Amino acid sequence: MKLVLGLGVTGFSIARFLAKQNIAFKLADSRSQPTLLSEFSTELPGIKISTGDWQPSLLDDVDEVFISPGIAQSESIVIWAREKNIEITSDIELFSRFSQAPIIGITGSNGKSTVTQLLGEMARASGKKTAIGGNIGKPALDCLSDDIELYILELSSYQLDYTKKLELLTGVVLNITPDHLDRYDSFEHYTSSKLSLYQYCQNLVINIDEPLIPAKTLAVHFGLDMPKTDQNFGTVTCHGSCYFLKGDDVLMGVDEMQLIGEHNVANILAALTLGDQIGLDMSAMTGCVKTFKGLEHRLEWISQQQGVEFYNDSKATNALSTITALKALISKHENIVLIAGGIAKEESHADLFELINRDVVATVLIGQSANEFELGINTAQTVHAQTMQEAVSLAKGMINNGVILLSPACASFDMFDNFEHRGNAFKQAVAAELFN
The catalytic residues are 112, 135, 180
Is the Cα dihedral 11, 15, 17, 23 positive or negative?
positive
Whether 213 contacts 201, CB under 8 Å: no
Whether 268 contacts 259, CB under 8 Å: yes
Whether 92 contacts 159, CB under 8 Å: yes
For the beta sheet containing 168-173, the strands, ordered from the edge strand earlier in sequence to the opposite edge, are: 130-134, 150-154, 103-107, 168-173, 201-207, 220-222, 233-238, 241-246, 249-253
Within 217-312, residue ranges assigned H as helices are: 262-277, 282-291
Give Dmax (Cα) for the chain. 70
CA-to-CA distance for 65 and 4, rounded, in angstroms? 6
Residue 102 carries which side chain, given as an amino acid letter?
P
Backbone angles phi, psi at 335, to 5 degrees: -105, 115
- DSSP character string of 326-345: HHHHHTT-S-EEEEE-SB--
